[in-house]
Amino acid sequence: MNPATQRELIAGPVGAIDLAIDLPAPDAAPRGLAVIAHPHPLYGGTMDNKVVITLARAFVGLGFVSVRANFRGVGKTEGVHDEGRGETDDLLAVVRAMRERYAPAHLVLAGFSFGSFVQTHVAERLRTEGVGIDRMVLVGTATSRWNVLPVPADTLVIHGEQDDTVPLASVLDWARPQELPVVVIPGADHFFHRKLPIIKRLVQAAFVSGPSAAPDDDAADTA
């Protein structure tokens, strides 16, 4: 993401997990931990996807330690694609390791596309373990393709009006029984081409009750 991004491997259930960690400004205590999941690895998804990086930048600007992880078979992460099951196990290992390292006051789970589906299962598993999640942020939620679980009422759900990979109607059908608001970005496709600054602004606005967000230095971001 930038020269300060820390790259490392941690032990996972079937081998190494490839991480990218970005820290907030060193003159302030981190506000919390944000773990971000990327889109489908069999279709080119990696932790360096532009939407994922946009989420990471937003959380770093908000004072969070931002952690991205490559799914199985991507980058230096070992293992093979497991349709979300192994990916859930791996992200749980990431959350546990990063909570032990940083002892965050707040935990946020975020995901894009396939990553949003995985994060709903991570959240469910954490809840059964008694681990509190302060917020979820789901972008391009893949409701038409996988079993995306119900989420907390304060989850920020962002979707593109013109998404032809996951139709907006599918997301609304998933959200409707939960009475869950969905933020629709007009004109946006699944990958939010030329709409990335809007995602960053929406995320930062959703967390204004705490430490102030950093100035938006990515206004020129395009995909």
What is the distance between the alpha carbons of residues 20 and 48, in angstroms, rounded to a whole number? 9
Q: What is the pTM of this model?
A: 0.92
**What SS3 state is found at 121?**
helix
Neighbours of 143 (CB within 10 A): 24
Domain 6-206: which topology? Rossmann fold (3.40.50)
Strands (E), 63-106: 64-69
Q: What is the pLDDT of residues 105-143, one digit of tens each?
A: 999 999 999 999 999 999 999 999 999 999 999 999 999
Please report the pLDDT score of residue 210 as a whole number.
44
3-state DSSP: the chain helix, strand, coil percent, rounded to 5? Answer: 30, 20, 50
Helix 196-206 crosses helix 50-61 at what angle (to 10 degrees)?
30
Vertex 28: Cα angle to 130 and 55 (nearest 5): 60
- Ranges in the chain, pLDDT < 50: 210-223
